[in-house]
Amino acid sequence: MARKYFGTDGIRGRVGEGKVNPELVLKLGWAAGRVLGQGRGGKVLIGKDTRISGYMFESSLEAGLVAAGMDIALLGPMPTPGIAYLTRTFRAAAGIVISASHNPYYDNGIKFFSSSGCKLPDELEEAIEAEMDRPLDTVPSKQLGKAERMEDAAGRYIEFCKSTVPASLNLGSLTMVVDCANGATYHIAPHVFDELGANVIVIGNEPDGFNINEGIGSTHPKTLQKAVLEHGADLGIAFDGDGDRLIMVDHEGSIVDGDGILYIIARSRLEQPNGLKGKVVGTSMTNLGLELALKELGVELLRTDVGDRFILEALNDNGWSLGGEPSGHIICRDRTTTGDGIVAALQVLAAMVFSGSSLRDQSLGMPRLPQVLVNVGLGEAVATQIMEDDRVNAAVADAEATLGANGRVLLRPSGTEPLIRVMVEGTEAAQVTDLANAIADAVRNVAAS
């Protein structure tokens, strides 16, 4: 079924334009209430990140859900994985996240979690879309829902995060910089690490509604690298705006991305009884170095399409425990139901402390093949038309012929931004860079024509 509203990760876009406007979000809340409540009512949890438009969309969703007869618990600013966790523990009908993740403040979006804390299955999203085409009607007044604020939401999630590592873990030997991206982790992550004993230096914890992800957070790691070196810290951790992804920085200022984090957690799990179940799941963007390093450990890597949704599907379908993306979406399925930056960071910190080694030492076992990613803005152009253009195909074919069996090329449209992502991987860094730029130039030329 062709989607009219939902994309690969809920609904997302520029505030006030297209699908992301108060009127449509009100209707979305009403339609979701009718489908998820099935006429019986129930409770829905609503959380958000720190961008200014969150207030507006929170009110719109609240009105729509109440009109459909659903009760609401407002969580306030809360990391996306925290909303998933609380939805599950409260046996709520659904959880709703108001966030555009790593996008700038002027974007926003809506995504849903089912009562089990997982993303909604396709059939429910399709049912909500079908309901949105019906006229909005309000249940009788005696059936209207109520809204309340959950005052202890942050504390509940902090305790959950701490429960995902052994009670004996003490981070007292570590000084760390924690970058909260001025986003949803600003009042959560520092407390988690502090309560486990770490000496925490916090940056990006002063959100004002407009500075989320602005030159800071997991998509802007130079800020974290600089802070780690300035403070002489043992490591740094940066989250994105909604806290479902992270990157780390070692004491020398080198980045440990999602592939490196996956490797560290997988190796640590292998040292624990029944610690790693099945294969590790990555994506088409996963560095070949991770695949080779896991093979040395006797572990296979399964690649899926890009997107944590596809990783989670593979983990659930096979009963496996670990997967993630280079961008830092890490899913520890043996700990939680979705990507969780804080939980993933804790698994790495536990591996460091219990082995007595640094983050740099932990990541050395994974060789990294040169990989270049170039994002090309589309403007008004359509991604599929560009990717099917003969000029772009010729540039890709030339690159693949040059690389031969020692590399690969991947073109894909972004699921969250108007971009085409060009990825080239090979054995020689200069060659990989030149080939990626050549393909990106071809894409730009077609988009501009």
Residue of 235, 285, 255, 267 lying closest to 422 (CA atoms): 285
Q: Indicate if 60 belongs to the active site.
A: no
Q: Does residue 243 contact residue 183 with C-beta atoms inside 8 Å?
A: yes
- Distance separating alpha carbons of residues 263 and 422, to the nearest angstrom: 24
Three-state DSSP class for residue 90:
coil
Q: Cβ contacts of residue 394 below 8 Å, gap of 6+?
A: 442
DSSP conformation letters of 243-306: SS-EEEEETTS-EE-HHHHHHHHHHHHHTSTT---S-EEEETTS-HHHHHHHHHTT--EEEE-S
- Distance separating alpha carbons of residues 249 and 235, to the nearest angstrom: 5
Residue of 325, 349, 289 lying closest to 8 (CA atoms): 325
- Catalytic one among 99, 101, 218, 321? 101
What the block records as the tokens of 111 is 């995504």
Vertex 44, ends 43 and 49: CA angle to 5°?
A: 150
What interhelical angle do 54-67 and 22-37 show, nearest 10? 40
Q: Which residues of 80-105 are buried (b: 16+ CB within 10 A; e: fewer)?
A: bbbbbbbbbebebbbbbbbbbbbbbb
- Distance separating alpha carbons of residues 282 and 259, to the nearest angstrom: 8
Radius of gyration of the chain (CA): 22
Q: Which residues are catalytic?
A: 101
